[in-house]
């Protein structure tokens, strides 16, 4: 199976366990790996035979920026569901949600959650 990847999509969302995170918001990055048969599109140069990655971007944006979750695990699950529900050509999706600046009094680059969900 072929793969289409959207890397480091940047959004501003209101997710977190702490009230101030859900009130003030923060930056999130999302990566998607989508397993899809790219041969029909590649051999015909026909976008309708593929998945429009700009549309996928806006689907993810809708989930990240219009909803609020305590856990980035829940955010990842909702992104995976939205992608699989809206794009039937995608057979499996891997979602990475990166929270680059968690509100802790310790120093590290961030936290990442990664899930892989097949079409059922």
Q: Which residues are catalytically annotated?
A: 99
Any idea which residue has 């199976």 for tokens?
1
The number of residues making up the chain comes to 120
Q: Determine phi and psi for 38, rounding to 5 degrees.
A: -90, -5
Q: How far apart are CA 32 and CA 114, in angstroms?
A: 10
Q: How far apart are CA 42 and CA 36, in angstroms?
A: 12
């Amino acid at each position: 199976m072929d793969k289409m990847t959207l890397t480091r999509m940047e959004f501003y969302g209101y997710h977190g366990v702490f009230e101030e995170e859900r009130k003030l918001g923060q930056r999130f990055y999302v990566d998607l790996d989508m397993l899809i048969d790219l041969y029909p599109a590649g051999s015909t140069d026909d976008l309708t035979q593929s998945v429009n990655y700009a549309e996928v971007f806006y689907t993810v944006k809708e989930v990240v920026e219009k909803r609020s979750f305590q856990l980035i695990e829940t955010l990842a699950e909702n992104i995976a569901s939205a992608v699989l529900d809206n794009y039937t050509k995608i057979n499996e999706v891997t979602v990475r949600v990166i929270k680059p600046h968690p509100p802790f009094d310790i120093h590290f680059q961030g936290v990442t959650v990664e899930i892989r969900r097949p079409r059922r």
